[in-house]
Amino acid sequence: MAQTKKARASRDMPRVHPKAAAIDIGAKIHVAAVGPDRDSEPVRTFNTFTDDLHRLADWFSRCGIRTVVMESTGVYWIPIFEILEQRGFEVMVVNARDAKHVPGRKTDVSDAQWLQRLHEYGLLRASFRPQAEMAGLRSYLRQRERLLEYGAAHIQHMQKALTQMNMQLHHVVSDITGVTGLLIIRAIVAGERDAAVLASYRDRRCHSSVETVRQALVGNIRDEHIFALTQALELYDVYQAKVVACDRQIEAILKRLKNSVPPPASRLPANRQKGRAPNAPAFDARAALHAILGVDLTQIHGLGPYLALKLVGECGTNLAAWPSAKHFTSWLGLAPHNKISGGKVLSSKTRRTSNRASALLRLAAATVGRSDTALGAFYRRLSARVGKAKAVTATARKIAVLFYNTLRHGMSYADPGAAYYEERYKQRVLNNLQRRAKSLGFVLEPVEAGGTPEVVS
């Protein structure tokens, strides 16, 4: 009887991927599972050495496997993913939340079998992973961000050493790693102690006067603090050199991508932004992106060249993985995550996510909130009503939709301005008031300028 029910269930639910396998990823061992009809020993354990990973791929080939699924466990999945992909398998990485095991005994073997069964019947969704060239670009951009973070720690160390010597350089210059700050710090490390000589290194664009800088550089200099300052400066220079090396690799990938696509149909629009953003790449990222994409993403307020480059690195160049802007914003975690039971909405909060693209869009939203643009007006109105956190999320979603439509459909964005947005909002409120008044049997009448509204009791 049990076998009959099992056979009936198998017939009722068709297998979407009959040649499917799964791997339960671990740090020291991988447990792989294939269908019971593929091998007499459908679950096997392999070590994580490279030779063992190739033996795993050979076993899949003998079993006639075409598609393999695995969970994204730390970084342990990357070596086996790349080896299987090179061997011609269709490999999917899934979120562990989507493949959660039913309650019961949990072992590596049961996890691998459960993953294989879910994938066999098409019940798992693949996580987004860009193509090989874009994956390389993403890796270089993430490495660059790590280097900048490490370098920022040594900027704090330099500032701490200066403060311990009561040299208040950070109070008279906006950035101690700017032109004035680095010239003065390098002179101090080289042995210069005269405050007047140090102040003469002031760049003409510095807002503080020479005398103010001189007074800030009179300090109580001690050898141990100079030693700490010297080491911090050397380490900062090392990381800056590594950032330049990353820039060369990123520029090389962008050139290869440019050569693989036809030239853009339109010319590069005029640059909206003046000056160079902090920590920007050494090359012209805006022109490079325009040559690849055919559109200028920086026309969207809040997206500078470097932020746009990081977004492209995280999401790809055409966003074909998402059928619509709603799918894209849902993947970003910027759309409401509705929980409905019995026809009642239990929760509509946005889900917590560690999506890097989402963090970049939130950063763009916080920046655009201070601008005199339609997006800025939207952020300020929403911030006053529901708070800054929700306003950032809503504005980030708007920017994400603009980003999607620009890349996917070639939309050209033109900002209507804050005044236009405020006028539209005012008209929308007025229409709502008129509709409510009419439903109650009243008619709204405008008040003439300087007049006093009549009070009807």
Summarize pLDDT for 91-101 with one digit per residue, the tens.
999 887 776 76
For residue 455, name the pLDDT band (cuts at 50, 70, 90): very low
Range 237-262 burial, b when 16+ CB lie within 10 A, else e: eebeebbeebbebbbebbeebbeeee
Q: What is the pLDDT of residues 151-206, one digit of tens each?
A: 999 999 999 999 999 999 999 998 999 999 999 999 999 999 999 999 999 988 88
In this prediction, residue 60 carries a pLDDT of 96
For residue 454, name the pLDDT band (cuts at 50, 70, 90): low
Contact residues for 82 (Cβ-Cβ < 8 A; gap 6+): none
State the helix-helix crossing angle for 418-439 and 374-386, rounded to 10 degrees.
50
Q: What is the dihedral of CA 243, 246, 248, 250, to 10 degrees?
A: -130
Percent of the chain with pLDDT over 90: 59
In this prediction, residue 445 carries a pLDDT of 81
- CA–CA gap between residue 84 and residue 20 (Å, rounded): 13
Residue 340 has pLDDT above 80, yes or no: no
Residue 329 has pLDDT above 70, yes or no: yes
In this prediction, residue 278 carries a pLDDT of 82
Higher pLDDT, 276 or 59: 59
Range 275-286 burial, b when 16+ CB lie within 10 A, else e: eeeeebbeebbb
In this prediction, residue 169 carries a pLDDT of 92
Residue identified by tokens 């890796």 is: 139
Q: Where are the alpha helices (DSSP H) in 369-417?
A: 374-386, 388-409
Residue 378 has pLDDT above 50, yes or no: yes
Identify the helix (H) or strand (E) that includes residue 347: strand 344-347
For residue 345, name the pLDDT band (cuts at 50, 70, 90): confident
For residue 457, name the pLDDT band (cuts at 50, 70, 90): very low
- CA–CA gap between residue 60 and residue 46 (Å, rounded): 12
Q: What is the CATH number of domain 14-120?
A: 3.30.420.60
Q: What is the pLDDT of residues 71-83, one digit of tens each?
A: 888 889 999 999 9
Mean pLDDT of 227-238: 96
For residue 360, name the pLDDT band (cuts at 50, 70, 90): very high
In this prediction, residue 451 carries a pLDDT of 57
Mean pLDDT of 140-157: 96
Question: Of 178-192, 340-354, 409-423, which gets the smallest average pLDDT?
Answer: 340-354
Percent of the chain with pLDDT over 70: 94
Partners of 29 in the β-ladder = 47
Mean pLDDT of 8-22: 77
Residue 449 has pLDDT above 70, yes or no: no
For residue 12, name the pLDDT band (cuts at 50, 70, 90): low
> Of 170-179, 226-235, 265-274, 335-344, which one has max mean pLDDT?
226-235
Question: Of 353-367, 394-408, 411-425, which gets the smallest average pLDDT?
Answer: 411-425
Mean pLDDT of 419-440: 85
Residue 348 has pLDDT above 80, yes or no: no
Higher pLDDT, 347 or 452: 347
Length of the chain as a residue count: 457
What is the pTM (predicted TM-score) of this model? 0.84
SS3 68: strand
